[in-house]
Structure 1
Amino acid sequence: MAGVRNWARALGFSQVGVAGVDLSSAEPGLMQWLAAGFHGGMGYMAAHGLKRARPAELVPGTVSVITARMNYLPRATPEGWQAIELRRLERPREGVVSLYARGRDYHKVLRARLQKLQERIAREIGPFGHRVFTDSAPVLEAELAARSGQGWRGKHTLVLSREAGSMFFLGEIYVDLALPATPPASSHCGSCQACIDVCPTRAIVAPHRLDARRCISYLTIEHDGPIDEALRPLMGNRVYGCDDCQLACPWNKYAGRSALPDFDARDGLSGAALADWLGWSEAEFLRRTEGGPIRRIGHERWLRNVAVALGNALAALPAHDARAEPLRAALRARAGHPSALVREHVQWALGR
């Protein structure tokens, strides 16, 4: 594995490991989670069912899984970045996008580099059967990562590493090679439940148990309909994703910076005014999000999310505060939007 690790590092990965394909012990938990409806509107999760826990069914012939992780904090991230990000949540008129989404779409970056890693291995040992995945198919990524030593499952369900926190992406190469598995990491959460306590919507219903229907990342990205009115005020100024559980995690003081420029924050996606974001035309939205993960939600959902954040900004201002008028003006400009979804959330926001 030493050679593979060196090749992986040269491609921007921070660690690689190997997992076996027997994930049967994870099947009961997966089925209980689905039975509870915690996957919300992500019907594809239920449709694929146990195939997620059976790599050899997903890709016949798979014998081992090479796992890889890649840090995504921008290269110029300063010390104390967690506190800096938490302070953004205290500026209600400023929109917040999850750190991972401020740069290039990680699907494209990891998939291309995993493919290059596979090609480098093949040059060394000869052709072999393989398939590359990056959050793109029914794969139990976190389970495979934990089993291969990338880290342990935190109480927020994300993978945590003592050396790198949780600010990294995961990817896999399913292979038809019998490779020795790397040892799993032991858990180091102890009695800490900072991630549970900080969650704005109480989506982490128990340690290692996430109800996606309440998760702000799910609501702003995966959910395509109206957002539950009871949850809207809890979303604050978060427009795409939510990093709160990671910002509160003590292990993230060790989070590593990306080795690549791909995840550097793009102009306009950090520290921007919500009123400006609501004013983006569809053409401007597409231009500013080209090649990035935010584009996948589309302009309509973007406006829905920004409208909710603007409503919360209005509610945070004192009565008759002059700073409220530009926010109301931005919302009124969208009151006649062709989309009923946008109109509903704009009206709700104006009512705040």
Structure 2
Amino acid sequence: MVKIGNIKLGDFPLLLAPMEDVSDPPFRAVCKENGADLMYTEFISSEGLIRDAAKSVQKLDIFEYERPVGIQLFGSDIETMGSCSEIASRVNPDLIDINYGCPVKNVACRGAGAALLQDVPKMVRMTEAVIKSTHLPVTVKTRLGWDESTKNVQEVAERLQDIGIQALSIHGRTRVQMYKGSADWTLIARIKENPRITIPIFGNGDVDTPEKALEYRDRFGVDGIMIGRATIGNPWVFNEIKHYMKTGEKLAPPTMEQRVDVCRRHLEFSIKWKGPIAGVFEMRRHYTNYFKGLEHFKPYRMRLVEAMTFEELESILKEISHNFDEVTC
């Protein structure tokens, strides 16, 4: 049984990675319904939260059906991160996660995210500040290092465990790699094999099929897998992996009716969270992903992104289900 503090996650949990502009409450809802064991909010700027910026505050929204769920924070100032840990704890998530892995320029070049891999002592002090400011378990997500010559994640794992983090998720690339090339899980495996390491170690990067999930579990010995980009338009990937690990057999691809049903659920959650106008607008970026690979779909996509009401969208989705009923993706 894998545990983070008192949170029981099963024998081999599958985690939804925090993704900016993707893993909001509606998306997390459909991932939960399709087998995700632990999910995280989009990463929240500590500076934005301190300033009470609307976008940052809204990302604190969590719901009972999501549990267990963690709030992920990022920032460059130690005192601010500690204060934000207190603020985030008040909405009662199950854990607080710190982002030391985001590689994008406007985060890393401001001294946050993966930038802390260049200053491990500061990373340690920041993590201590977060831990001291909350009663909740604190976890960390990071990368192998800043670049090929500074892969220091083994040192990071030991030092952060020593000060009290309760799980570590590692993306198998450096910051310089961004999302290019192949993820290297060999360092992740070495951390898991380190007798000093007793906290759960979750691997992240390039897991996009049930076969790869099983291979990586057996080959690298991780306690669980965090999945990011492979879930976009494909939230049932969690149940597909679980079924394959349990039976050795692959589930049939989702039918068009199943795709439409999940898309509709996503839309319903979006409207419930954001309201009938913003909820419809927020869903527009997801339709291409749900119906990726369909021939002659462009006219339907245009209608979906131009529709203004749930009733219009419901009618279009029914039409898609009917006209593509024998298609699997």
Higher Rg: 1
TM over 0.5: no
- TM-score, normalised with respect to structure 2: 0.30
- TM-score, normalised with respect to structure 1: 0.29
Larger relative contact order (CA 8 Å, sep ≥ 6)? 1
